[in-house]
Structure 1
Amino acid sequence: MTHQSPLRNFLRTLARATCVAGALALVAGINWVATRENRRFDLTARKVHSLGEKTLQILRGLKSPISITALYPGVAPEAVADLLGEFRRAAGGILTTEIVDPLQNLGYAAQFGNRIDAQERRVVIQAGKAREEIDCTDTPLDEGRLASAIYRAVTESSTVYFLRGHNEYEFESPEPDGLSRLATSLRDLQFKVEGLGLAGAGSKVPDDCRVLVIAGARTTPSDEEKKEISRYLDDGGHALFLVESAIRTPSGTLTEQEQRANPTWNDVLSRWGVTMGDDVAVDISNHMGQDIGCPATSKYPDHDKIVKGLGITFYVRPRSISFVKPSDRQVLFAPLVQTVSGETSWAETDRTLYVHFDEGQDLRGPVTIGSVLLQDPKTWKDGKATKLVVLGDADFVTNQYTNRYSNLDLVVNSIAWLAQREMLAPAEKTGTPEQRLEMTAADIKLAVAGIAVFPVLVMLFGLNVWLRRRK
């Protein structure tokens, strides 16, 4: 029988007690830190439980107190309380939130003009004298709706005019070839959206025009209209040109009407050094579906206020854009969007749709299909500077192409930059975002090679080894 000394027993007990005390101290320390430091970690792949970057930009840019009151009969959904808490924490004390049951607080709810109803759910945002309301009776509150309402409450309205009279894409139309989704996004940014005709005698661009949008004019404007638009730009105006692609035909022969269709606006743009090509940008490696005339790209040279956070955009028969510095004015030019490839993309000039690179005739890629132009700050007049965004396509932002990809975001961000809006409202989020696998033609080829070709090669190699061993 082994006899253990009292000293050894004491040391063993002391070691055990020390371990227990250390563990308790560690747990207590962690809990103490947790109560003082409120930190959250979102481990989901797409950060679905975190506020978006543009929402954070809005909240961090708040200059004066703002209050949010959620009027929910009974018990408000836990998701609403969580969302309001996220906004409150991100705003850093300048934003207050509360959830009120109007059935239990009749007098308090009455000051918000709320109808006492067991079904109605409403969120009221107040910033000084400004007030915005969100009806959540049928559609649940989400980050996008709340951020957009806050943005509207703290932002003064300004007007975006869409040129009319030349068969442009219609901003009020909900049809697939309309621009109603673009108009809705602009209104969410506190823009007024109006149409503008310049065909009448003495017609002028209104003084309250913050941005003039030319969305795919398909008939040639008159000389008077072009002169008025040039005057507006010379006076420090801001404009977005969405220039429709040139008409192509397999025969190569265009009628006189087809030759006049889809004007380049070079009469106006060339005064600022910009020239729209009579061509189509093609990309053999990166395009949508099987159409090499619909280049897909995420190549955006540095211009964070417009392209930061954008995903893939694609274009339908886009024109190329070139720049030659004008001699009579000081301007700063920068590419905004380019095709991805160098060797496998170019600006095709052949009108017969025969796609083949011709040295000395076609422009080798990367092809610029979007650009930004700013009047040199040294030549500003009364603090006003001409700003242009020019894109070599128009129908890429119609309703049929804006349900996915970043086409709509690119145009909305461009207009916001032209209007000198420092904060951008995010696109609305509803529930868990749909996860789609977006693949260009090059991605599809690589996937096919990995899924089908490589396994077949392995099987053939194995079969060859097996046959040799049998012999």
Structure 2
Amino acid sequence: MTGIAALLAGLGVVGIGFGLLSALLALLQPFTDPYWILGNLVLGILLLGAAVVMSLDSLRERVRSGGGRRIGKYGSSAIASTVLGLVILGLLGFLSVRYSHRFDLSEAGVHTLSAQTTDLLEGLDEKVSITAFFLESEAPAVRDLLDRYAYASDKIDLSFVDPNSAPGLVQELGLSTEDLAKGVVRISLSSGEATTLTEFSEPAITNALLKLVKSTGKKVYFLAGHNEREIESAEPREQGFASGPDSWGRAADALVNETYEVESLILATMQDIPEDASAVVIAGPTRPLLDAELQALERYAERGGALFVAIDPRARTNLNGLLRNWGVELGDDVVVDRALAVFGQATTPLAGEYDGHHPITKRLREPTLFPMVRSVQPDPRATGNYTVLVKTGRESWAERDLDAWRNTGRAEFGPEDLPGPVPIAVAGTPRVARETEPGEPDDASGQDPSADGSDAEAKPGRLVVFGDSDFATNEFLDALRNRDLFVNSV
């Protein structure tokens, strides 16, 4: 084989290799041009053919000189090796596509979808089509994010369309030239419902998908009237939720983005918690509740209601006794952590020790921060099934001598303090029993509840208790994983 023929043969092999590699990439990259694949293969075959034609005389001479047998032997071996290599390459390509796994090596997990997005995608029960209209040169900016959605669920059918190559589809969907200039993402269900996005952040895409597939119709009530954190703006001119740094306006808006309805609840004007309440949030009260309000909360828990309670250290509230009856103990203390303090504030600890199995915390990887938080522990004598959700660091402790701390301005770990890791949030399903003595008639039925051996306890409710309400205020909700922790808890 002459030098030129050998060069052509080498280039032919390279061309065929590029063609096969492009074919594999086409399975992963929607914008891979099929003509590029075909061109590489055809060019490679032509170059190899030209090399063979140019070497015919040399091959005939080798055959006449008795080298044909060696040529056949080594040629067959080369062909077999080539075929085997191509088969292995194809098998590896198939396995990489069929059983691929992604690793996020970034320290902050920036290439990982949030817990809310992952839970939503795992819960999909129908096919969802996501069509991205982008010029090929602009697609990489959003491709990575949308690829994560498609990778997380086999219910997602993702496709990228160049608007210039599909004018009929663009016209059919009524997409404007102005929007197409920036890019458009269209999400549609098999039922025909669809929405169009021109913002491509994960919250925007997830919220749009959530509103399409998971309209809950559920309502969350925020208890009011006891100086709780506000969710509604106090300014008549302001629309929407409260915007002050100490309010819970963003927390309420986060629930709206999860398709919940939210509303303030003045319980003193009602006999009971409304029947349409899927959850009641009690955020940082500093004044006591009326006895009738406490009884209404008890009845709500008895009928299986869900309660989210966040009470700050030394808050003047009478909810402590009610929570104690349900098996949750609020410590009269403040957590101090000089090792994991935020901006040097020992009373604003980072908490990153989560329960790895509970639905609220199992997907949390980054810490949350809690400005001025108290300890929260399950009562070991409680009949309810409680889980400690969050603990502070091992170097922290719950300072109980608060008066001495206030007078001296110094806090040191003492024998009366609770050593770390300090539990600061619990969740459980307490069983609420009626407070009747054996043989005493039940008020509702007029009969002894124990006479027939039936269980006097009601069906379980759901209770989540935090020792701080600052963590979900407008100022801190978007710090680290505070938002995820709050939304998961409700």
TM-score surpassing 0.5?
yes
Report 1 or 2 for greater relative contact order, CA contacts < 8 Å, sequence distance ≥ 6: 1
- Structure 1 position 356 matched with structure 2 position 431: no
**Which of 368, 384, 387 is the matching residue for 1:334?**
387
**Which of 381, 396, 399 is the matching residue for 1:347?**
399
Asked whether the 8 Å contact 2:398–2:420 carries over to 1, the reply is yes
Aligned to 1:448: none
Distance 1:339 1:50, change over 3 A: closer
**Which of 119, 128, 153 is the matching residue for 2:212?**
153
Q: CA deviation at 1:242?
A: 0.6
Distance 1:408 1:144, change over 3 A: closer
- Structure 1 position 369 matched with structure 2 position 424: yes
**Which of 339, 344, 352 is the matching residue for 1:298?**
352
Distance 1:352 1:154, change over 3 A: same
**Which of 468, 480, 485 is the matching residue for 1:405?**
480
Q: CA deviation at 1:24?
A: 6.9
Q: Which runs of 5+ in 1 are unaligned?
A: 1-5, 247-260, 416-471
- State the aligned residue count: 385
Q: Distance in 1 between matches of 2:85 and 2:166?
A: 45
Asked whether the 8 Å contact 1:371–1:390 carries over to 2, the reply is yes
Aligned to 2:320: 266
Letter in 2 for 1:204: D
Aligned to 1:278: 332
Asked whether the 8 Å contact 1:335–1:370 carries over to 2, the reply is yes
Q: CA deviation at 1:273?
A: 1.7
Q: CA deviation at 1:213?
A: 0.7
Q: CA deviation at 1:205?
A: 1.5
Q: CA deviation at 1:18?
A: 4.8
Q: 1:56-96 CA distances to partner (integer Å, 9 max, x unpaired)?
A: 44334321233334466998734445655554454325646
Q: CA deviation at 1:231?
A: 1.6
| 1:179-190 → structure 2 map (5 Å cutoff) | 179-190=248-259
**Which of 371, 377, 389 is the matching residue for 1:322?**
377
Please give the secondary structure, in 1, of the residue aligned with 2:354.
coil
Distance 1:28 1:102, change over 3 A: closer
**Which of 209, 228, 250 is the matching residue for 2:277?**
209
* Worse-superposed segment, 50-59 or 302-311: 50-59
TM-score after normalising by structure 2: 0.66
Distance 1:334 1:84, change over 3 A: closer
Q: 1:406-445 CA distances to partner (integer Å, 9 max, x unpaired)?
A: 2222111111xxxxxxxxxxxxxxxxxxxxxxxxxxxxxx
Q: 1:368-397 CA distances to partner (integer Å, 9 max, x unpaired)?
A: 211112136997989x52111101001122
Distance 1:192 1:32, change over 3 A: same
Aligned to 1:45: 105
Q: CA deviation at 1:281?
A: 1.8
Please give the secondary structure, in 2, of the residue aligned with 1:334.
strand
Aligned to 2:363: 309
Q: CA deviation at 1:325?
A: 5.2
Distance 1:117 1:182, change over 3 A: same
Q: Distance in 1 between matches of 2:103 and 2:379?
A: 49
Q: Which runs of 5+ in 2 are unaligned?
A: 1-64, 232-240, 433-453
Instruction: Give the greater-gyration-radius structure (CA).
Output: 2
**Which of 302, 305, 311 is the matching residue for 1:234?**
302
Q: CA deviation at 1:53?
A: 6.2
Letter in 1 for 2:223: L
Identity value in percent: 27
**Which of 386, 399, 412 is the matching residue for 2:461?**
386
